[in-house]
Amino acid sequence: MLMKAATRSLTEQLAGLLAERIRTRLLAPGARLASVRECARQQGVSPSTVVAAYDQLLAQGLVEARRNRGFFVREQGGRPADLPAGGSAAAASAEPVPRPPVNAAALIRGMFHSVSGKPQPGMGAFPADWLESSFMPAAIRKVTGTAALRDFSLQYGEPAGDPGLRRALSQKLAGVHVPATPEQIITTVGATHALDVVSRTLLRAGDPVMVEEPGWAVEFARLEALGMRVLPVPRTAHGPDLDVMARYCEAHAPRLFVSVSVLHNPTGHCLAPGSAHRVLQLANTHRFHIVEDDTYSHIAPQSATRLCALDGLQRTIYVSGFAKILAPNWRVGYLAAPKDLVERLLDTKLLSTLTTPALLEKALAWCIDQGQLRRHAERIRARLDQARARSVKLALQAGCRFAAEPAGLFGWVDTGVDTDALAQRMLDQGYLLAPGSLFHARREPSTLMRINFATTQEAQFWEDFQRARELP
């Protein structure tokens, strides 16, 4: 909050607040700052204070003023922009076209460095206190208390990953009917690294890739950074839009389809068996691979339909990890692939990370073998069911509706207002939202937002949300 009695002037405080958001990319490059009048009203200061603060940001090269449009965050390190006539903030105070304030990188940064001490509705993971356990320290003590510690610490581990963990993962996958031998499994530095290994192995810059939309914001950003042509496939309650996929196959010959078939992010939908069979028929006919991201497998029903189970790892590649359910900082993920792709995928892993940390992989194998992970996941699921019920009730009372049946960790909520503008207002109150435009490849304006059921079960957030939504 801006404080009149503070040692710094209101102008310096406001400029400092906005500068910090820009440097940490909570305000994304290209995002439009609030107009002078709107910012003055939001912060409870005079328009002249806002003009002076914006002038400081201009002088620091953090924003640019576009004539008759407003103020926009500059790409850091980019070419300095020309100032409007007069060279001051006052010259650019006309109402502009809104731009998204938050991008995928900002959402991730918000997970690492919270914008406040409040529960964050846009968070993509369980709160830290949900993941606390006594068995993880016990697992570390178990693997470090052996004579083998010196041996596996002083040399590189197995290129494909710890053999004991790969055996445990093979048995775990059998439980969801995915037939993967230990030799078909490669460990990675988290599930995102596994997706990256697959992309770098099977694709080249310019290749067309089908991705579900709405979809995971980080996946859109990651593929675009690699130079891929992203082909958005609308995601329905039953699965991807098969007609759109068929047209893409005929027109573009895509190389890959990326799918979150179980507890889809952000909608929570699960793939229907009929849709799964049609997707696999398209893959076989048009000879593209499917990478199935099963990140939420630990909180999903084992009976859920998985493409890799139906296909038997022929044209499918299975990806998952343990950051969401167990230990985010252990960064243990994995992929299971067709036998003819394993060596190529392993070469890509070696070129990017050499090997993965054997100590944490051995500790994770112990957690799986002892049944600790299974019991921990059961506790998380029970707690999440209760949180989801509370959050859904509060969201409905706040005048929202759910665009998809609430399931899993995330809710896909229709707020009735532009959530890009709402995200800017809520950021001022210490909340990082995940606006709907983030989950579309072309950043289309949206009234939807993704909420985390674990962090939106308090009435205070929804009260603040209602007040921000009602602002003109």
Q: What's the CATH code of the domain at 394?
A: 3.90.1150.10
Residue 206 clears pLDDT 90, i.e. is over it:
yes
Q: How far apart are CA 467 and CA 472, in angstroms?
A: 10
Lowest mean pLDDT among 14-28, 42-56, 250-264: 14-28
Give Cα 23 to chain centroid, integer Å.
Answer: 20
Residues 273, 232 share a domain: yes
So what's the pLDDT on residue 289?
Answer: 98
More confident residue, 92 or 76: 76
Q: What six digits make up the tokens of 280? A: 């696999």
Query: How much is the average pLDDT of 374-389?
Result: 96
Residues 277, 347 share a domain: yes
So what's the pLDDT on residue 81?
Answer: 40
E strands, 175-288, are: 185-188, 208-213, 229-234, 256-259
The domain boundary residue, chosen from 71, 92, 113 = 92
Total-model pTM: 0.81
Query: How much is the average pLDDT of 87-93?
Result: 47
Q: What six digits make up the tokens of 259? A: 């799918």
Residues 172, 82 share a domain: no
First to last CA, the chain: 21
Residue 384 · residue 410 · CB < 8 Å: no
Query: How much is the average pLDDT of 323-340?
Result: 93
> Does 327 reside within a domain?
yes
Residue 152 clears pLDDT 50, i.e. is over it:
yes
Most confident listed range (31-45, 360-374, 424-438): 360-374
Question: 385 lies in which domain range?
Answer: 105-124+374-469
More confident residue, 233 or 106: 233
**Chain mean pLDDT for the chain:** 88
More confident residue, 374 or 77: 374
**Helices 36-43 + 47-59 axis angle, to 10:** 110
Residue 424 clears pLDDT 60, i.e. is over it:
yes
Query: How much is the average pLDDT of 8-26?
Result: 84
So what's the pLDDT on residue 87?
Answer: 47
Lowest mean pLDDT among 25-39, 400-414, 451-465: 25-39
So what's the pLDDT on residue 185?
Answer: 98
Query: How much is the average pLDDT of 290-296?
Result: 96
Residues 302, 215 share a domain: yes
Query: How much is the average pLDDT of 72-81?
Result: 63
More confident residue, 145 or 13: 13
- Tokens 């709405």 correspond to 214
So what's the pLDDT on residue 20?
Answer: 82
Q: Which long-range contacts (CB under 8 A, 24 or more apart) does 80-85 make?
A: 83/58
Residues 232, 323 share a domain: yes
Residue 441 clears pLDDT 90, i.e. is over it:
no
> Does 130 reside within a domain?
no
Query: How much is the average pLDDT of 368-380?
Result: 95
Contacts of 375 (CB under 8 A, 6+ apart): none
So what's the pLDDT on residue 115?
Answer: 64
Residue 72 · residue 64 · CB < 8 Å: yes
Residues 402, 361 share a domain: no
- Bridge partners of 72? 32, 64
So what's the pLDDT on residue 358?
Answer: 87
Residues 113, 43 share a domain: no
Confidence of residue 329 (pLDDT cuts 50, 70, 90): confident
The domain boundary residue, chosen from 370, 399, 427 = 370
Residues 404, 364 share a domain: no
Q: How far apart are CA 300 and CA 369, in angstroms?
A: 20
Residue 345 clears pLDDT 90, i.e. is over it:
yes
Residues 264, 115 share a domain: no
Q: Half-sphere exposure of residue 21, counting CA atoms within 13 Å on the CB side?
A: 27
Residues 302, 171 share a domain: yes
Give Cα 165 to chain centroid, integer Å.
Answer: 26
Residues 178, 290 share a domain: yes
- Tokens 């004579």 correspond to 147
So what's the pLDDT on residue 354?
Answer: 85
Domain count, the chain: 3
% the chain with pLDDT above 70? 90
Residue 311 clears pLDDT 90, i.e. is over it:
yes
Residues 316, 277 share a domain: yes
Residue 92 clears pLDDT 80, i.e. is over it:
no
Q: How far apart are CA 392 and CA 64, in angstroms?
A: 41
Confidence of residue 96 (pLDDT cuts 50, 70, 90): very low
More confident residue, 14 or 198: 198
Exposure of 386 by Cβ count < 10 A (0-12 exposed, 13-18 middle, 19+ buried)? exposed
Q: How far apart are CA 135 and CA 235, in angstroms?
A: 38
Residue 149 clears pLDDT 80, i.e. is over it:
no
